[in-house]
Amino acid sequence: MLRLSKLIIAAALVFAFAQSANAQVSYSYGGGYSWRLSPQGNIYLSRLYDHLLQTSGGFRRYRMAKECRPINIPELRQHCLVSFDEYEPFIGRRGWY
């Protein structure tokens, strides 16, 4: 009987801690559902990223350095740099559509 009561108490404690840990996990910012987490927000940010890669030389250089500099194999680093021109060619300034 003592063993069963210890098991019940242990199970209750585990359940209580699991519930409190679950309540602490929050993926929203500012208290509400963030538009960045929505599919529409993701699409907007993706288009903005592509637009900046194509029109802003400074942003493009920053992203190329951030993404390609950590690659230690010269052939792979060169492929990373070339992929920017292949997938998001620099076209200079133009209107945002």
Domain positions in the chain: 38-87
Cα gap 51→82, rounded to integer Å: 18
Interatomic CA distance for residues 15 and 5, integer angstroms: 15
Residue 95 has pLDDT above 70, yes or no: no
- Note the pTM of the prediction, 2 decimals: 0.57
* pLDDT at residue 25, as a whole number: 46
Instruction: Over range 64-85, report the average pLDDT.
Output: 95
| Coil vs helix vs strand at 2 | helix
pLDDT of residue 84: 92
